Chains A and B, each alone.
Chain A
Amino acid sequence: MPNSSTEAPSTGWVGRKLASVSVLPALIALLVAVVLYSITIGRYDLSVRDVAYILIDNLHPLVTPYWDPVQEVVVEQVRLPRIMAAVIVGFGLAVSGAALQGLFRNPLVDPGIIGVTSGAGFGGTLAILIGLQGYLLLGMAFLFGVGSVFLVKLLATVRGRTSMLTLVLAGVVISAFFSAAISIAKLLADPFQKLPAITYWLMGSIASSNYLDVLLVSAAVVPSAVAIYLLRFQINIMSLGEEKARALGTKVVLVQWIILLASALISAGVVATSGIIGWVGLVIPHVARALVGADHQRLLPVSGVMGAIYLLMVDNLARTVTTAEIPLGIITALIGVPVFAVILRRLHAKGGWSSD
């Protein structure tokens, strides 16, 4: 008799269809609700009804505008782009975290741990230092993000095989290197203009996001997330280990590179628009896995939407708790670290993770 503790959530073709129709739409509905609510909160009070009318008015005027033009500006120019940025950043980080955890068969991995984030961070810092912005900054962040992936893979691969433990260690080494490089860049930066810009940007903030930023981060996140989702079944297989995957007929190297490059692009997009925001990609996939199981077909979209909801709520905290903005990266770390500690303990207790 299968008991509930050993049963994976929703199996069977019909069961799966059911799970994917119930959990995901519920989360999407929740996301929409949180988005609407997020637009109402802040120093300028609005009701959900006002927000709905203001937004719908863009598509099709339902009622004659009764609101103050200031309200429209607050909704459409100040809050909406920022909220969209939070949604896309959270979505991207969670999807890439879930994909990397599957790929490296290691539940304690995220873009930060394998060195992509700090590589992209250095790229962005360098871009600010030499006065680049927008897509050029994104390009630099991507270049260094990918570069750090190359370096990490190179360090961790011995005779054509990549051990997952060495990969994480190599990630730590490369992260340390780029952190040092960031410090050097700060040291060289003009202390009155560029240094504060770099410092604040690195702490992670989407406070000043406009639609161009949203477009930029979408350009990085959307195609990458699509590529990752298309590989959903291959990620399942990769999580059995490289040798097993090869024996099952998977194009291991190709899949690894697509996932790594897609993750690097997501990280670069996120870093370019909002600085370094850690822990989302590590923590969210665990919660999602508890909800829908390990199969990446369901895990990836559910992780993404949960990441979006999570980061949006974190950003709401960041902009409303105090009169000053709290950098996002600080809040995600404050929440993420204890959650990570709990996950680590639970994994350890269950013996659920054996490294190779």
Chain B
Amino acid sequence: MTRTAPAPARPVRRPSRGRLAVVALGIVAALLAVRIVTGGADVDLPDLLSDLITFTLSVIIESLPFVLLGVLLSLVVQVWVKDAWISRVLPSAPVPRRIVLSLLGVVFPVCECGNVPFARGLMLRGVPVSDSFAFLLAAPIINPVTIITTHQAFGFDDGILVVRLVGGFLIANLVAWLYSRHPEPERLLTDRFAAECRMPHSESGGRAGRALGIFQHETASMLPALFLGALVAGAIQVAVPRDVLLALGTHPVLSVLAMMALAIVISVCSSVDAFFVLPFASSFLPGGIVAFLLLGPIVDVKMLALLRTTFTPRTLAQISGVVALACLAIGLGVNLVS
């Protein structure tokens, strides 16, 4: 019996950069042409479908710049920031390190959508998984944009601003501390992201090329999640009558639960959620307003979809439970003293 030697692998011919550039620009031109042609079409969709599309696209378009900013910050951290700089900035002791991470939003105010890719970048550079929660959960609340807009909306009335900041800080550090005791923190991550974290940090190739590679990789994770989160958030908007929730405003317990439910379904950006909830302040007790402002930036439909790119469903369920209980306790406490 004669054995045939395997044929040598043929080198894969990659199209030239010039040809790829033509293809890329052709795709952009085709998309633009389709968009222009369909933009003026007189299509009479049913109200619910039309509103579902408007809601879904609204969430995507509103989130897009923040997601892109987060991806850009993430690739800067991965490509241009040196390990020595990270270890110099972050304290080695766990508690101070988590405190510093929970205040990092002050210098990187990228909204909750952008925080996910940024946190992924931090973990890929060796920041512990549990510590990343301190950043992820606190940064949407403790950042200058959110602080200014919350102050513009409420001033110091009913202590809403102070409770929001202190509550966000405490919840983030509580969750980070809880998970710092986890014996196998890698099990909190999706298999794929855990595998990425295990890989050695690559310094090969040009920085621009590596940065574009990270851009491509992160958008492949973030955009499908954003689309799905936006679709679910949009579907809830057309399916759940909002006045059902708002009828519960003056009950000391139900008002808090109703505003927490609203925070989860509304998926509004943390930088402006104070303006959104301001009109409800006259019909809802302050505990409900505080619970909305604490829970929304951490746990909402869109945010959960984005976090799902990185964490297992079990982890997200646990975090949602802990955060919701903490927000409920704080909201009830505010109603008790107000």
| Chains A and B belong together in one complex | no
